[in-house]
Amino acid sequence: TEYYNPYALGGKTGSSSSSGLCFVSAARKDGKTVITVILGAKTRTMSDGIKQNQQFSETNRLIEMGFAG
């Protein structure tokens, strides 16, 4: 639920040693569709020890930017 986005239509994950963590997704809000592509993301350990998958947090950031513009 940490990465939940109510506007997401769907997404596809992928990873390899050479490409890192990847994620492609689409979201729709008020008739506007945003498509995001994240390549080479990392898993980051936060100060509280929780691991954050950057491909999902970056996707939500890009979706918000796409809807704002």
* pLDDT over 90 at 1, yes or no: no
* pLDDT over 80 at 69, yes or no: no
Q: pLDDT band at residue 52, thresholds of 50, 70 and 90?
A: confident
What region, left, alpha or beta, does residue 6 occupy, with left being phi > 0 and alpha being psi -120 to 50 degrees? alpha
Q: pLDDT band at residue 2, thresholds of 50, 70 and 90?
A: confident
